[in-house]
Amino acid sequence: MAKKNQEGGKKTKVQSNAKLNLLAADREVAQDELMTTNQGTKINDDQNSLKAGDRGPTLMEDFIFREKMTHFDHERIPERIVHARGAGAHGVFRLNKSLAKYTKAMFLTQLNVDVPVFVRFSTVAGSRGSSDLARDVRGFAVKFYTEEGNFDLVGNNMPVFFIQDAMKFPDLVHAVKPEPNNEIPQAASAHDTFWDFISLMPESAHMIMWAMSDRAIPRSYRMMEGFGVHTFRLINKNGEAHFVKFHWKPRLGVHSVAWDEAQIISGKDPDFHRRDLWEAIENGQFPEWDFGVQIIPEKDEFKFEFDLLDPTKIVPEETVPVQLIGTLQLNRNPDNFFAETEQIAFHVGNVVPGIDFTNDPLMQGRLFSYTDTQLIRLGGPNFHELPINRPVNVIHNNQRDGYGRQQINTGRVSYHPNSLGGGCPFQAKMTQGGFKSYAERIDASKVRERSKSFRDHFSQARLFFHSQSLPEKNHLIDALRFELGKVKTVAVRERMVNILQQIDTDLAAAVAVGLGLTVPKKSAGQLNHSVPADADPRSYESIQYEMSLKTSAALSMANTIKGSISSRKIAVLAADGVNGNSLSALRQAIRKAGGSTVIIAPHLGAIKTDGGEAISVDESFLTAASVLYDAVYVPGGTKSVDALTQESNAIHFLNQAYKHCKVIAAESDTLPVLQQTYFAEGLSSGDKLKSDEGVLLGTNPSKLSKLFIAAAGQHRFWEREIPRKVPA
């Protein structure tokens, strides 16, 4: 029903409490409304506290002041211990290939149905105030609001993890967090305690390859892969099970920034990834991922050269191809960061009928940890009632009370079985969609052991390293040199070089040279470094194994999707007197190709073209930096060229873009500008000059812009670093 608001003449819809859900959440829209307390009492004065006289003490009875101040005092909730810094967005998931053969989960069997989702991306190690560009794993958590309940796919942008058993998770996090004696460093693994732990945990070898690779410094959340990490089970209507690995593949490809660039971005714009995601959605350039699955029959559980339940292992795509079955699109930014992105509560245990767990010991520990964490972070057991966490179907159970209770339960019955409430709520039968755990047969003794099949620590680390392109290998070596170079304890460095020796001799040698260490001889079996006296020797037991698969194309970012500048930001360096015709044509061509241009000039406001047209300036050289853009274009114009030649920041902009392997294009009359740069040797007119390195200089602006767009679609020209002309 509706009633008329006497103050404003508006109609206010009254909803049943039972109907409140995410899609019709409590959302305040303050337009022509009167201010009230949290109890609904209208406030007459929000400027002054209640006092005993205008210069007297504030009175305890001022409930308006106390309510306002108390709420302010408690505005901050404890941040997540890990994944504290994040950004999120709403979207939809649509299935285009049914998995009815493998699962009874409705959202994986019903075609062309838009399932609402909320996705949160995050870094792992840093606090909420840290930089987006830290070298780190990125969380990729997706909450599906399905008709059968919420399903949370709580994954990362890397398909494996540091440890095999959740028992070691607190140790891992304690090691990577700032060291407790001085709370240094923030959001960084480049310190003694982390590498001390890793050097004593050979099972981390594979994940270290990923974490030291370019995957740890993505260009954008929109350009990351996502993985469920664990092996899950799919259960069909007949009760038959299949193992499954979940994948998200970005339609923009998988791209990264350079490490030097990441460090600069952290100073120039620590919100770089947040801003990128927000602006893309606001501009209608909705990020999209293909959802894929690797499905493995139960009978094939033991046919691989690794253990399917080992979270430090992948299933190579050459062994089991990824089937693309659906699409995720993010199309709406949150209305309020705190209420949605900060308060959303994910849990690996949030599953629906048709999806079940395996005995992966890391997954098993996560099934406990998430709820336990949310109880303290979100203040009690009712965090599921927050609008962002509510399922779209109505909740009925006998849970009651507790901090933050929002649902108003009626009647006197809060137990089951009962007769006074007519037996309600009733248990759901299987035919009514009731969840039933997979009846896995278990016959074993209770032990604190780990399967021997988990002891191959290096074969997949070797596969990953050997699958990288030469630039990627160089970046990985530089990352290890940087990280271990920050470690002050020489014994820790030596242990890590020994770990690397088990992966690849050339890798270990390159890192050792950078650290001033001697490369140890490779041992045939056990790691050849001393084990701490009080350590458990089982942690160091390993099986030296060589996979039959030597390389995997899916593991190298060199093989990702390229050829588009969709949503890319192009920096255009210009000043008064710029060639108006070529600038206009360039902007039109880039816009048509899906990119955007940012005019960067010596000053803000506007510049005038050679034809007298005023062009709005987006950024000045003081507020901009090349690290914030994907490519650089310098249009011609005599006066503009003269001004840029004298502008040291413009020369620095170009030098930095070249150092970070970005595409640079300039019209031929801008040669005096380029000659001021350190990479100008040999520059002369010609549309394909240094095109193999992504540096273009052309006499024909129309032709040049086409070449530029095609080159920028390659993302980076990492080959520019080989031989090591510029640092990564």
Which among 150, 156, 157, 389 is annotated as catalytic?
Answer: 156
Q: Is 457 a catalytic residue?
A: no
Angle at which helices 169-176 and 361-377 pack, to 10 degrees?
Answer: 60
Burial class (CB in 10 A: 0-12, 13-18, 19+), 665: buried
Contacts 24+ apart (CB under 8 A), 333-339: 333/89, 333/90, 333/278, 333/281, 333/282, 334/88, 334/89, 334/90, 335/27, 339/386, 339/387, 339/388
Element at 600 (helix H, strand E): strand 596-601
| Helix orientation angle between 470-485 and 259-268, rounded to the nearest 10 degrees | 60
Helix (H/G/I), strand (E/B), else coil: 646: coil
Long-range contacts of 544-551 (CB under 8 A, 24+ apart): 544/458, 544/502, 545/305, 545/456, 545/458, 545/459, 546/459, 546/462, 547/305, 547/306, 547/459, 547/460, 547/462, 547/463, 548/305, 549/316, 549/318, 549/319, 549/463, 550/463, 550/466, 551/463, 551/466, 551/467
The single-letter code of the amino acid at 225 is E
> Could you tell me the strand order of the sheet in which 596-601 lies?
619-620, 596-601, 569-573, 631-634, 663-667, 695-698
Question: Is 637 within 8 Å of 609 (Cβ atoms)?
Answer: yes
- The radius of gyration computed from the CA coordinates of the chain, to the nearest angstrom, equals 29
Element (H, E) at 695: strand 695-698
Helices 505-515, 490-503: crossing angle, 10 deg rounding: 160
Spatial separation of the C-alpha atoms in residues 351 and 354, rounded to whole Å: 8
Peptide bond just before 417 cis, omega within 30 deg: yes
How many residues are recorded in the chain?
728
**Cα torsion for 721, 590, 265, 559, to the nearest 10°?**
-50
Question: Which residue in 332, 344, 230 sits closest to 282, CA to CA?
Answer: 332
| 666 and 634 Cβ atoms separated by less than 8 Å | yes
Question: For residues 671 and 685, what is the distance between their CA atoms, to the nearest angstrom?
Answer: 8
Q: Is 5 a catalytic residue?
A: no
* Pair 605, 644: CB distance under 8 Å: no
Beta bridge partners of 118: 90, 143
- 582-584-586-587 Cα dihedral, nearest 10 degrees: 160
Maximum pairwise Cα distance, the chain: 91
Rounded distance between C-alpha atoms, residue 417 and residue 426, angstroms: 9
Q: Fill in the DSSP letter of residue 256.
A: B
- Supply φ then ψ for residue 384, to 5 degrees: -70, -15
First to last CA, the chain: 64
Write the CA distances from 505 to 485, 491, 519, integer angstroms. Answer: 19, 19, 9
Q: Which two tokens stand for residue 69?
A: 């101040």
Give the separation between CA 367 and CA 359, rounded to whole angstroms.
11
Give the separation between CA 348 and CA 102, rounded to whole angstroms.
20
Q: Are 378 and 77 in contact (CB under 8 A)?
A: yes
Catalytic center residues: 83, 156
